[in-house]
Structure 1
Protein backbone atom coordinates (compact mmCIF):
# COMPACT_ATOMS: atom_id res chain seq x y z
CA UNK A 1 0.00 0.00 0.00
CA UNK A 2 1.36 3.42 -0.95
CA UNK A 3 2.12 5.99 1.72
CA UNK A 4 0.72 9.07 -0.01
CA UNK A 5 -1.15 11.69 1.97
CA UNK A 6 -2.72 15.09 1.34
CA UNK A 7 -0.77 18.10 2.60
CA UNK A 8 -2.51 21.02 4.31
CA UNK A 9 -1.74 23.36 1.39
CA UNK A 10 -4.88 21.96 -0.25
CA UNK A 11 -7.05 23.25 2.61
CA UNK A 12 -5.23 26.60 2.69
CA UNK A 13 -5.65 27.09 -1.06
CA UNK A 14 -9.34 26.21 -1.03
CA UNK A 15 -10.48 27.74 2.27
CA UNK A 16 -7.95 30.43 3.29
CA UNK A 17 -5.28 30.65 5.98
CA UNK A 18 -5.90 29.27 8.43
CA UNK A 19 -9.08 27.42 7.51
CA UNK A 20 -11.88 27.83 10.03
CA UNK A 21 -12.84 24.80 12.10
CA UNK A 22 -15.87 24.31 9.85
CA UNK A 23 -13.67 24.35 6.78
CA UNK A 24 -11.33 21.83 8.39
CA UNK A 25 -14.21 19.34 8.30
CA UNK A 26 -14.72 20.19 4.63
CA UNK A 27 -11.01 19.57 3.98
CA UNK A 28 -11.37 16.13 5.57
CA UNK A 29 -14.31 15.44 3.23
CA UNK A 30 -12.18 16.58 0.30
CA UNK A 31 -9.31 14.26 1.21
CA UNK A 32 -11.61 11.25 1.41
CA UNK A 33 -13.38 12.21 -1.82
CA UNK A 34 -10.05 12.44 -3.63
CA UNK A 35 -9.15 8.92 -2.53
CA UNK A 36 -6.59 9.61 0.19
CA UNK A 37 -6.18 7.42 3.25
CA UNK A 38 -4.01 9.86 5.19
CA UNK A 39 -3.81 13.61 5.74
CA UNK A 40 -1.87 16.22 7.62
CA UNK A 41 -3.35 18.96 9.80
CA UNK A 42 -1.94 22.34 10.71
CA UNK A 43 -2.49 24.70 13.63
CA UNK A 44 -1.64 28.35 12.99
CA UNK A 45 -1.84 30.89 15.81
CA UNK A 46 -3.52 30.84 19.20
CA UNK A 47 -7.09 31.31 17.93
CA UNK A 48 -6.84 28.34 15.59
CA UNK A 49 -5.16 26.27 18.33
CA UNK A 50 -8.02 26.92 20.76
CA UNK A 51 -10.60 26.02 18.08
CA UNK A 52 -8.94 22.69 17.35
CA UNK A 53 -8.55 21.92 21.06
CA UNK A 54 -12.25 22.60 21.62
CA UNK A 55 -13.30 20.39 18.70
CA UNK A 56 -10.62 17.71 18.98
CA UNK A 57 -12.88 14.78 19.87
CA UNK A 58 -15.49 15.46 17.22
CA UNK A 59 -12.79 16.22 14.64
CA UNK A 60 -10.85 13.05 15.42
CA UNK A 61 -13.99 10.94 15.27
CA UNK A 62 -14.95 12.58 11.98
CA UNK A 63 -11.52 11.94 10.46
CA UNK A 64 -11.63 8.30 11.52
CA UNK A 65 -15.19 7.92 10.18
CA UNK A 66 -13.84 8.90 6.75
CA UNK A 67 -11.19 6.16 6.91
CA UNK A 68 -8.35 8.66 7.22
CA UNK A 69 -5.16 8.62 9.28
CA UNK A 70 -3.48 11.81 10.54
CA UNK A 71 0.23 11.68 9.72
CA UNK A 72 1.38 15.09 10.92
CA UNK A 73 0.01 17.97 13.00
CA UNK A 74 2.07 21.07 12.19
CA UNK A 75 2.56 23.74 14.86
CA UNK A 76 2.98 27.11 13.14
CA UNK A 77 3.61 29.82 15.72
CA UNK A 78 5.85 32.80 14.79
CA UNK A 79 6.06 33.55 18.52
CA UNK A 80 8.62 30.74 18.76
CA UNK A 81 11.32 32.99 17.30
CA UNK A 82 10.31 36.30 18.84
CA UNK A 83 13.07 38.59 20.12
CA UNK A 84 11.08 38.83 23.36
CA UNK A 85 11.75 35.93 25.73
CA UNK A 86 8.26 35.94 27.25
CA UNK A 87 6.72 35.77 23.78
CA UNK A 88 9.00 32.85 22.89
CA UNK A 89 7.92 31.02 26.04
CA UNK A 90 4.31 31.55 25.02
CA UNK A 91 5.14 30.12 21.58
CA UNK A 92 6.74 27.09 23.22
CA UNK A 93 3.60 26.56 25.27
CA UNK A 94 1.50 26.70 22.07
CA UNK A 95 3.89 24.16 20.57
CA UNK A 96 3.52 21.90 23.63
CA UNK A 97 -0.27 22.05 23.33
CA UNK A 98 -0.04 21.18 19.63
CA UNK A 99 2.21 18.21 20.41
CA UNK A 100 -0.46 17.03 22.82
CA UNK A 101 -3.02 17.37 20.02
CA UNK A 102 -0.77 15.39 17.68
CA UNK A 103 -0.74 12.47 20.11
CA UNK A 104 -4.52 12.78 20.50
CA UNK A 105 -4.88 12.45 16.72
CA UNK A 106 -2.45 9.47 16.77
CA UNK A 107 -0.05 11.33 14.47
CA UNK A 108 3.52 10.23 13.86
CA UNK A 109 5.04 13.68 13.98
CA UNK A 110 4.66 17.38 14.44
CA UNK A 111 6.25 20.05 12.29
CA UNK A 112 7.22 23.69 12.61
CA UNK A 113 8.90 26.45 10.60
CA UNK A 114 12.00 28.58 11.02
CA UNK A 115 10.05 31.67 9.85
CA UNK A 116 11.61 34.83 8.48
CA UNK A 117 14.46 36.37 10.48
CA UNK A 118 13.85 39.74 12.19
CA UNK A 119 14.98 41.87 9.27
CA UNK A 120 12.95 44.55 7.51
CA UNK A 121 10.93 43.45 4.50
CA UNK A 122 10.02 46.29 2.16
CA UNK A 123 6.53 45.84 0.69
CA UNK A 124 6.04 42.03 0.77
CA UNK A 125 7.01 39.54 3.46
CA UNK A 126 7.00 35.77 2.85
CA UNK A 127 3.93 33.91 4.19
CA UNK A 128 2.79 36.94 6.21
CA UNK A 129 -0.95 36.74 5.59
CA UNK A 130 -1.50 33.96 3.08
CA UNK A 131 0.38 31.48 0.93
CA UNK A 132 1.65 33.31 -2.17
CA UNK A 133 4.19 32.00 -4.65
CA UNK A 134 6.23 33.76 -7.31
CA UNK A 135 6.81 36.86 -5.19
CA UNK A 136 9.91 39.08 -5.15
CA UNK A 137 11.34 40.44 -1.91
CA UNK A 138 13.38 43.48 -0.91
CA UNK A 139 14.97 43.61 2.53
CA UNK A 140 16.92 45.95 4.77
CA UNK A 141 19.17 44.64 7.57
CA UNK A 142 18.59 46.55 10.86
CA UNK A 143 21.68 48.04 12.45
CA UNK A 144 21.19 46.02 15.65
CA UNK A 145 20.65 42.65 13.94
CA UNK A 146 23.15 39.88 14.77
CA UNK A 147 22.91 36.73 12.67
CA UNK A 148 24.99 34.70 15.13
CA UNK A 149 22.80 35.67 18.08
CA UNK A 150 19.64 34.92 16.13
CA UNK A 151 20.96 31.55 14.97
CA UNK A 152 21.93 30.61 18.53
CA UNK A 153 18.39 31.40 19.66
CA UNK A 154 16.94 29.39 16.76
CA UNK A 155 18.99 26.32 17.70
CA UNK A 156 17.91 26.63 21.34
CA UNK A 157 14.22 26.90 20.43
CA UNK A 158 14.34 24.01 17.97
CA UNK A 159 16.11 21.81 20.51
CA UNK A 160 13.44 22.61 23.09
CA UNK A 161 10.74 21.82 20.54
CA UNK A 162 12.45 18.52 19.70
CA UNK A 163 12.53 17.57 23.37
CA UNK A 164 8.86 18.47 23.80
CA UNK A 165 8.03 16.32 20.77
CA UNK A 166 10.13 13.48 22.17
CA UNK A 167 8.26 13.68 25.47
CA UNK A 168 5.08 13.10 23.47
CA UNK A 169 6.53 10.22 21.45
CA UNK A 170 6.69 12.29 18.26
CA UNK A 171 9.14 13.09 15.53
CA UNK A 172 9.75 16.80 14.83
CA UNK A 173 10.16 17.90 11.23
CA UNK A 174 11.30 21.22 9.75
CA UNK A 175 11.37 22.10 6.05
CA UNK A 176 13.63 24.57 4.29
CA UNK A 177 11.36 27.21 2.74
CA UNK A 178 12.13 30.03 0.34
CA UNK A 179 12.52 33.30 2.25
CA UNK A 180 12.79 31.77 5.72
CA UNK A 181 15.71 31.45 8.13
CA UNK A 182 16.43 27.90 6.93
CA UNK A 183 15.91 28.14 3.18
CA UNK A 184 18.15 25.40 1.76
CA UNK A 185 19.45 21.92 2.53
CA UNK A 186 22.84 23.13 3.80
CA UNK A 187 21.23 25.38 6.41
CA UNK A 188 18.93 22.49 7.34
CA UNK A 189 21.92 20.20 7.71
CA UNK A 190 23.63 22.69 10.00
CA UNK A 191 20.47 23.01 12.11
CA UNK A 192 20.14 19.22 12.36
CA UNK A 193 23.75 18.91 13.49
CA UNK A 194 23.49 21.64 16.12
CA UNK A 195 20.12 20.58 17.55
CA UNK A 196 21.43 16.98 17.61
CA UNK A 197 18.28 15.16 18.72
CA UNK A 198 17.46 11.75 17.25
CA UNK A 199 13.77 12.61 16.71
CA UNK A 200 14.56 15.84 14.82
CA UNK A 201 14.54 15.55 11.03
CA UNK A 202 14.00 17.30 7.72
CA UNK A 203 11.09 17.62 5.35
CA UNK A 204 12.29 17.22 1.78
CA UNK A 205 10.09 19.82 0.09
CA UNK A 206 10.78 19.51 -3.63
CA UNK A 207 8.95 22.70 -4.60
CA UNK A 208 10.86 24.96 -2.23
CA UNK A 209 14.22 23.35 -2.96
CA UNK A 210 13.77 23.51 -6.74
CA UNK A 211 12.75 27.18 -6.58
CA UNK A 212 15.90 27.79 -4.53
CA UNK A 213 17.93 26.33 -7.43
CA UNK A 214 18.95 23.23 -5.45
CA UNK A 215 19.92 19.98 -7.17
CA UNK A 216 17.38 17.87 -5.32
CA UNK A 217 19.22 14.52 -5.68
CA UNK A 218 22.22 16.23 -4.07
CA UNK A 219 19.93 17.59 -1.33
CA UNK A 220 18.88 14.00 -0.64
CA UNK A 221 22.54 12.96 -0.45
CA UNK A 222 23.23 15.74 2.07
CA UNK A 223 20.23 15.04 4.31
CA UNK A 224 20.22 11.24 3.87
CA UNK A 225 18.35 9.36 6.56
CA UNK A 226 17.47 12.60 8.34
CA UNK A 227 14.68 13.01 5.80
CA UNK A 228 11.62 11.98 7.79
CA UNK A 229 8.87 13.45 5.60
CA UNK A 230 8.47 14.47 1.96
CA UNK A 231 6.36 17.22 0.38
CA UNK A 232 5.96 16.77 -3.38
CA UNK A 233 5.28 19.58 -5.85
CA UNK A 234 6.85 20.88 -9.05
CA UNK A 235 7.71 24.26 -10.56
CA UNK A 236 9.81 25.87 -13.27
CA UNK A 237 12.90 26.23 -11.08
CA UNK A 238 12.48 30.00 -11.00
CA UNK A 239 9.33 30.78 -9.00
CA UNK A 240 8.13 28.96 -5.90
CA UNK A 241 4.97 27.52 -7.42
CA UNK A 242 3.53 24.23 -6.17
CA UNK A 243 2.29 22.41 -9.28
CA UNK A 244 1.60 18.74 -9.82
CA UNK A 245 4.79 16.74 -10.50
CA UNK A 246 5.50 16.54 -14.20
CA UNK A 247 4.18 20.06 -14.82
CA UNK A 248 7.57 21.64 -14.10
CA UNK A 249 11.25 20.84 -14.58
CA UNK A 250 12.20 18.57 -11.65
CA UNK A 251 14.00 15.33 -12.57
CA UNK A 252 11.63 13.00 -10.77
CA UNK A 253 13.36 9.69 -11.51
CA UNK A 254 16.49 11.01 -9.79
CA UNK A 255 14.45 12.19 -6.79
CA UNK A 256 12.82 8.80 -6.29
CA UNK A 257 16.09 6.98 -6.90
CA UNK A 258 17.62 9.06 -4.09
CA UNK A 259 14.78 8.29 -1.71
CA UNK A 260 15.11 4.59 -2.50
CA UNK A 261 18.87 4.70 -1.94
CA UNK A 262 18.37 5.94 1.62
CA UNK A 263 15.54 3.53 2.34
CA UNK A 264 12.91 6.20 2.78
CA UNK A 265 9.81 4.55 4.21
CA UNK A 266 7.79 7.52 5.44
CA UNK A 267 4.83 9.35 3.95
CA UNK A 268 4.93 11.47 0.81
CA UNK A 269 2.52 14.40 0.96
CA UNK A 270 0.91 15.87 -2.13
CA UNK A 271 1.79 19.53 -1.53
CA UNK A 272 0.06 21.01 -4.55
CA UNK A 273 -1.77 24.33 -4.39
CA UNK A 274 -1.55 28.09 -4.49
CA UNK A 275 -3.68 30.85 -6.01
CA UNK A 276 -2.45 30.21 -9.56
CA UNK A 277 -4.05 26.74 -9.68
CA UNK A 278 -6.97 27.22 -7.29
CA UNK A 279 -9.53 26.91 -10.09
CA UNK A 280 -8.23 23.45 -11.04
CA UNK A 281 -7.01 22.31 -7.65
CA UNK A 282 -8.72 18.90 -7.54
CA UNK A 283 -7.47 17.95 -11.00
CA UNK A 284 -3.88 18.92 -10.11
CA UNK A 285 -4.02 16.96 -6.86
CA UNK A 286 -5.35 13.84 -8.58
CA UNK A 287 -2.63 14.09 -11.25
CA UNK A 288 -0.03 14.41 -8.49
CA UNK A 289 -1.44 11.51 -6.48
CA UNK A 290 -1.39 9.16 -9.48
CA UNK A 291 2.12 10.30 -10.45
CA UNK A 292 3.59 9.72 -6.99
CA UNK A 293 1.89 6.35 -6.54
CA UNK A 294 3.26 5.17 -9.91
CA UNK A 295 6.76 6.52 -9.24
CA UNK A 296 6.79 4.89 -5.81
CA UNK A 297 5.97 1.52 -7.37
CA UNK A 298 8.47 2.04 -10.20
CA UNK A 299 11.32 2.72 -7.77
CA UNK A 300 10.31 0.18 -5.13
CA UNK A 301 9.28 2.55 -2.33
CA UNK A 302 6.11 0.46 -1.77
Structure 2
Protein backbone atom coordinates (compact mmCIF):
# COMPACT_ATOMS: atom_id res chain seq x y z
CA UNK A 1 0.00 0.00 0.00
CA UNK A 2 2.85 2.40 0.78
CA UNK A 3 4.19 2.10 -2.76
CA UNK A 4 0.78 2.84 -4.23
CA UNK A 5 0.20 5.81 -1.94
CA UNK A 6 3.60 7.27 -2.80
CA UNK A 7 3.19 6.94 -6.57
CA UNK A 8 3.83 10.13 -8.51
CA UNK A 9 2.59 10.75 -12.00
CA UNK A 10 4.32 12.98 -14.53
CA UNK A 11 2.94 16.52 -14.60
CA UNK A 12 2.27 16.19 -18.32
CA UNK A 13 0.28 12.93 -18.06
CA UNK A 14 -2.58 13.06 -20.54
CA UNK A 15 -5.04 10.52 -19.18
CA UNK A 16 -7.15 10.33 -22.34
CA UNK A 17 -4.11 9.62 -24.51
CA UNK A 18 -2.73 7.14 -21.97
CA UNK A 19 -6.09 5.31 -21.83
CA UNK A 20 -6.30 5.12 -25.62
CA UNK A 21 -2.76 3.73 -25.87
CA UNK A 22 -3.30 1.29 -23.02
CA UNK A 23 -6.52 -0.15 -24.42
CA UNK A 24 -4.95 -0.37 -27.89
CA UNK A 25 -2.04 -2.33 -26.40
CA UNK A 26 -4.43 -4.74 -24.68
CA UNK A 27 -6.42 -5.15 -27.90
CA UNK A 28 -3.20 -6.13 -29.64
CA UNK A 29 -2.22 -8.53 -26.83
CA UNK A 30 -5.67 -10.13 -26.95
CA UNK A 31 -5.47 -10.45 -30.73
CA UNK A 32 -2.09 -12.18 -30.48
CA UNK A 33 -3.48 -14.55 -27.84
CA UNK A 34 -6.55 -15.23 -30.00
CA UNK A 35 -4.32 -16.22 -32.92
CA UNK A 36 -3.11 -19.09 -30.71
CA UNK A 37 -6.55 -19.93 -29.33
CA UNK A 38 -5.68 -18.39 -25.95
CA UNK A 39 -7.31 -15.98 -23.55
CA UNK A 40 -5.66 -13.01 -21.86
CA UNK A 41 -6.20 -13.14 -18.09
CA UNK A 42 -6.40 -9.94 -16.03
CA UNK A 43 -5.40 -10.52 -12.40
CA UNK A 44 -7.02 -8.28 -9.77
CA UNK A 45 -4.74 -6.88 -7.10
CA UNK A 46 -4.47 -3.77 -4.98
CA UNK A 47 -3.36 -0.86 -7.14
CA UNK A 48 -3.93 -2.34 -10.58
CA UNK A 49 -6.23 -0.73 -13.10
CA UNK A 50 -8.80 -3.55 -13.22
CA UNK A 51 -8.73 -4.70 -9.60
CA UNK A 52 -12.48 -4.82 -8.97
CA UNK A 53 -15.51 -6.14 -10.81
CA UNK A 54 -16.60 -2.67 -11.89
CA UNK A 55 -13.10 -1.71 -13.01
CA UNK A 56 -12.69 -4.89 -15.06
CA UNK A 57 -16.08 -4.53 -16.74
CA UNK A 58 -15.22 -0.94 -17.68
CA UNK A 59 -11.81 -1.97 -18.99
CA UNK A 60 -13.25 -4.97 -20.88
CA UNK A 61 -15.76 -2.70 -22.60
CA UNK A 62 -12.99 -0.30 -23.61
CA UNK A 63 -10.73 -3.06 -24.95
CA UNK A 64 -13.58 -4.80 -26.74
CA UNK A 65 -12.12 -8.31 -27.01
CA UNK A 66 -14.04 -11.45 -26.03
CA UNK A 67 -10.88 -13.27 -24.97
CA UNK A 68 -10.01 -10.67 -22.31
CA UNK A 69 -10.84 -12.60 -19.17
CA UNK A 70 -10.89 -11.98 -15.42
CA UNK A 71 -8.73 -14.17 -13.18
CA UNK A 72 -11.08 -14.28 -10.20
CA UNK A 73 -8.93 -14.04 -7.02
CA UNK A 74 -10.97 -14.74 -3.89
CA UNK A 75 -8.52 -13.23 -1.39
CA UNK A 76 -7.72 -10.08 -3.35
CA UNK A 77 -11.33 -9.36 -4.20
CA UNK A 78 -12.47 -9.98 -0.65
CA UNK A 79 -9.84 -7.55 0.65
CA UNK A 80 -10.90 -4.98 -1.98
CA UNK A 81 -14.50 -5.28 -0.68
CA UNK A 82 -15.96 -6.89 -3.80
CA UNK A 83 -18.95 -9.02 -2.80
CA UNK A 84 -17.78 -12.40 -4.08
CA UNK A 85 -21.24 -13.81 -4.81
CA UNK A 86 -22.35 -10.70 -6.69
CA UNK A 87 -19.03 -10.48 -8.54
CA UNK A 88 -19.30 -14.08 -9.70
CA UNK A 89 -22.76 -13.39 -11.09
CA UNK A 90 -21.66 -10.18 -12.83
CA UNK A 91 -18.46 -11.70 -14.22
CA UNK A 92 -19.75 -15.17 -15.10
CA UNK A 93 -19.17 -14.66 -18.82
CA UNK A 94 -15.58 -13.51 -18.24
CA UNK A 95 -14.25 -16.07 -15.73
CA UNK A 96 -12.61 -19.37 -16.55
CA UNK A 97 -9.87 -19.38 -13.91
CA UNK A 98 -10.09 -18.80 -10.15
CA UNK A 99 -7.28 -18.22 -7.65
CA UNK A 100 -8.54 -19.62 -4.38
CA UNK A 101 -7.34 -18.68 -0.89
CA UNK A 102 -8.88 -17.22 2.23
CA UNK A 103 -8.69 -13.67 3.61
CA UNK A 104 -9.79 -11.77 6.74
CA UNK A 105 -10.63 -8.56 4.88
CA UNK A 106 -8.08 -6.33 6.64
CA UNK A 107 -4.99 -6.65 4.46
CA UNK A 108 -3.69 -8.32 1.33
CA UNK A 109 -3.10 -11.92 2.40
CA UNK A 110 -3.58 -15.38 0.92
CA UNK A 111 -4.49 -17.64 3.82
CA UNK A 112 -5.22 -21.34 4.02
CA UNK A 113 -8.88 -22.18 3.46
CA UNK A 114 -10.69 -21.71 6.77
CA UNK A 115 -8.15 -19.32 8.27
CA UNK A 116 -10.04 -16.28 6.99
CA UNK A 117 -13.69 -15.27 6.92
CA UNK A 118 -14.77 -15.93 3.32
CA UNK A 119 -18.12 -17.73 3.29
CA UNK A 120 -17.08 -20.75 1.23
CA UNK A 121 -20.48 -22.46 1.16
CA UNK A 122 -22.01 -19.34 -0.42
CA UNK A 123 -19.09 -19.05 -2.83
CA UNK A 124 -19.40 -22.62 -4.12
CA UNK A 125 -23.20 -22.40 -4.28
CA UNK A 126 -22.80 -19.35 -6.50
CA UNK A 127 -20.36 -21.25 -8.72
CA UNK A 128 -23.14 -23.81 -9.21
CA UNK A 129 -25.66 -21.06 -9.95
CA UNK A 130 -23.45 -19.56 -12.69
CA UNK A 131 -22.50 -23.04 -13.97
CA UNK A 132 -18.76 -22.42 -13.61
CA UNK A 133 -16.75 -24.99 -15.59
CA UNK A 134 -13.29 -23.43 -15.39
CA UNK A 135 -10.09 -24.14 -13.49
CA UNK A 136 -8.84 -23.43 -9.98
CA UNK A 137 -5.38 -22.39 -8.90
CA UNK A 138 -4.55 -22.65 -5.21
CA UNK A 139 -3.05 -19.28 -4.28
CA UNK A 140 -2.02 -19.67 -0.65
CA UNK A 141 1.04 -18.07 0.91
CA UNK A 142 3.33 -15.13 0.42
CA UNK A 143 5.33 -13.11 2.90
CA UNK A 144 2.22 -11.17 3.94
CA UNK A 145 0.26 -14.30 4.82
CA UNK A 146 2.28 -16.11 7.48
CA UNK A 147 1.23 -19.60 6.39
CA UNK A 148 3.45 -21.91 8.47
CA UNK A 149 3.07 -25.12 6.46
CA UNK A 150 2.44 -24.53 2.77
CA UNK A 151 2.44 -28.23 1.87
CA UNK A 152 -0.33 -28.93 4.35
CA UNK A 153 -2.28 -25.80 3.35
CA UNK A 154 -2.16 -26.75 -0.35
CA UNK A 155 -3.10 -30.37 0.32
CA UNK A 156 -6.05 -29.33 2.50
CA UNK A 157 -7.19 -26.76 -0.08
CA UNK A 158 -7.09 -29.34 -2.87
CA UNK A 159 -9.18 -31.75 -0.78
CA UNK A 160 -11.60 -28.95 0.12
CA UNK A 161 -12.09 -27.98 -3.54
CA UNK A 162 -12.61 -31.62 -4.56
CA UNK A 163 -15.27 -32.04 -1.86
CA UNK A 164 -17.08 -28.87 -2.94
CA UNK A 165 -17.15 -29.87 -6.58
TM-score (norm 1): 0.51
Aligned residue among 239, 246, 252 for 2:120: 252
Q: Could you tell me how far apart the structure 2 residues matched to 1:192 and 1:163 are?
A: 14
State whether structure 2 residue 11 is matched by structure 1 residue 125. no
Give a deviation string over 1:191-240, Cα, whole Å, max 9, x none: 22222222221111111101111111111122122112111011111111
Give the C-alpha shift of residue 145 in structure 1: 2.5
Tell me how far 1:278 sits from its aligned partner.
5.4
Match of 2:51 in 1: 183
Which residue of structure 1 lines up, in the alignment, with residue 129 of structure 2?
Answer: 261
Structure 2 counterpart of 1:277: 146
Q: Cα distance 1:148–1:254, how it changes in 2: closer, same or farther (>3 A)?
A: farther
**Structure 1 position 141, deviation (Å):** 4.1
CA shift for structure 1 position 139? 3.5
What is the aligned counterpart of 1:197 among 48, 65, 71? 65
Q: Does 1:157 align with 2:25?
A: yes
Aligned-pair distance for 1:183? 1.6
**Rg bigger for which structure?**
1
Whole-angstrom CA distance in 2 between matches of 1:188 and 1:272: 23
- Contact 1:203/1:230, CA 8 A, preserved across alignment: yes
Matched with 1:210 is: 78
| Gapped regions of structure 1 (runs ≥ 5) | 1-120, 127-136, 297-302
Q: CA RMSD in A?
A: 1.9
2:155 aligned with 1:289, yes or no?
A: no
Q: Would you say how many aligned residue pairs link Structure 1 and Structure 2?
A: 164
